[in-house]
């Protein structure tokens, strides 16, 4: 699905939310294989039982990846990802937790290229109890309809 939006079309305060996604053991194992992060916090059930959380914790980068992917419902040929800032892993996510994402457009600013602007989206990820587990700022480089 395509949604063609120029910089001028973005409205501050606009939000979108995703469906839930339950984190599985398979997610953690696949992510460990792809990332090379086999730390016992993610992989060793018996060791984790002796630690404060008493269970395996999903990789923060796994939760980030799933959260970002779940928000990418429409392709905008006028915008591209410019990066992520202020990424924080607030609370652990465990096997069986269900996460949802909420994106809020919270800033627009000029870019050094007069043909583009920067749109900032705040990404908040919560678990099934409504607890914030991850937050970051997604920056989009967006073409202007009318160059500044």
Q: 83-105 pLDDT, tens per residue?
A: 999 999 999 999 999 999 999 99
Across residues 107-124, what is the average pLDDT? Answer: 97
pLDDT at 59: 98
User: In the structure encoding, which two tokens stand for residue 36, read together?
Assistant: 């090379």
For residues 99 and 132, what is the distance between their CA atoms, to the nearest angstrom? 9
Residue range 119-126: mean pLDDT, rounded: 98
Whether 107 is in a domain gets the answer: yes
Amino acid 71: pLDDT:
92
**Is 74 a residue whose pLDDT tops 80?**
no
Residue 147 pLDDT exceeds 90: no
127: CATH: 3.10.129.10
- Mean pLDDT of the region 61-85: 93
Flag whether 1 is in a domain.
no
Output the six-digit token pair for 15: 């939000």
- The answer to whether 126 and 52 have CB atoms below 8 angstroms apart is no
45 part of a folded domain: yes
In a domain, 101, yes or no: yes
Supply the range of the domain harboring residue 18: 7-143
Mean pLDDT of the chain: 96
As a whole-number percent, the residues of the chain with pLDDT over 90 amount to 93
Whether 72 has a pLDDT exceeding 90, the answer reads no
Q: What is the per-residue pLDDT for 73? A: 81
Asked whether residue 115 is domain-assigned, the answer is: yes
> Does residue 148 lie in a domain region?
no
Closest CA to 123 of 113, 133, 131: 133
Q: Provide the domain count of the chain.
A: 1
pLDDT, tens digit, 9 for 90 and up, residues 15-68:
999 999 999 999 999 999 999 999 999 999 999 999 999 999 999 999 999 999
């Amino acid at each position: 699905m395509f949604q063609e939006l120029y910089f001028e079309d973005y409205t501050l305060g606009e939000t979108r939310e995703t469906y839930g996604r339950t984190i599985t053991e398979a997610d953690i194992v696949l992510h460990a294989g792809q990332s090379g992060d086999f730390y016992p916090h993610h992989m060793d059930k018996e060791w984790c039982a002796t630690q404060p959380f008493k269970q395996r914790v999903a990789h923060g980068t796994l939760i980030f990846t799933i959260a970002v992917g779940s928000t990418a419902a429409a392709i905008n040929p006028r915008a591209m990802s410019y990066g992520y800032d202020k990424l924080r892993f607030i609370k652990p996510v465990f096997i069986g937790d269900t996460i949802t994402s909420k994106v809020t457009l919270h800033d627009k600013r000029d870019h050094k290229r007069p043909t583009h602007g920067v749109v900032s989206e705040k990404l908040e990820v919560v678990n099934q109890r409504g607890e914030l587990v991850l937050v970051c700022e997604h920056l989009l480089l967006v073409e202007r309809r009318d160059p500044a």
